[in-house]
A and B are shown apart, each in its own frame.
Chain A
């Protein structure tokens, strides 16, 4: 059974701090990794994708991937109250049209003003 594990939280950080969200996955052949943000009652919104080992930065967000450790993380710098949401880690085993996303249960982030 392919699994994606996340700490459910809630993770609480003060405004302006760095929020660190972590995710591990069980399927060693996984190819693509995604972070989605989901506000309460809304649908998931893609914020980052990463496919190669190392770091990928996009504005205040940095995704980190370590395939040897089967670990992917998301760092949010200068956290804002508007970043308060549930962050879903998703893993795809196969590129292209085949294969589906396996999601973790999500980590709830709360940024306190």
Chain B
């Protein structure tokens, strides 16, 4: 059973640029959630995808967008990068429809915006 994998592991971008982060969910999981974790803070919910549809969103602006593909992998896109977007971006998969399916996180992508 493969776990959640994310790519790339590290990324450096310039303010104003766009970035795409990728995530492959754990085998058998159909729900993917994305979180942003700033230094010294707990993860903050960005959005969740279930069967290719967004079915929950946190307090993030529209320049944060996502996709989920038929194989349940997912992308997080961030446009017009700002310095405050520098953070660890975490992807987690779970089994939607199961009452208490916990989240299992990937290793994360460390994004630095200069």
Contact = CB atoms under 8 A, between A and B. Distances in A.
B58 interface: yes
A106 B42 contact: yes
Contact of A102 (B33, B45, B55): B45
Interface in B62-114: 88, 90, 94, 96-108
Contacts of A32: 100, 102
Given A97-B31, A100-B56, A46 B100 contact: no
Interface residues of B, number: 30
A15 to B, nearest CB: 26
Interface stretch (A37-45, A58-66, A76-84): A37-45
Contacts of B56: 98-100
A97 B44 contact: no
A8 to B, nearest CB: 8
Nearest to A105: B42
Contacts, number: 66
A34 interface: yes
Contacts of B41: 105
Interface string B14-54: 00000000000000000101010000111111001010000
Contacts of A90: 42
B100 A95 contact: yes
Contacts of A42: 107-108
Given A44-B105, A97-B50, A98-B56, A103 B98 contact: no
Given A100-B56, A101-B35, 12 more contacts: A4-B42, A32-B100, A36-B105, A43-B107, A45-B105, A46-B103, A46-B104, A96-B98, A97-B55, A97-B96, A100-B45, A105-B41
Interface of B: 31, 33, 35, 40-45, 48, 50, 55-56, 58, 88, 90, 94, 96-108
8 contacts: A32-B102, A46-B102, A51-B100, A88-B42, A88-B43, A97-B48, A105-B42, A106-B42
The 5 nearest A-B residue pairs measured at CB: A97-B96, A103-B42, A100-B45, A95-B99, A43-B105
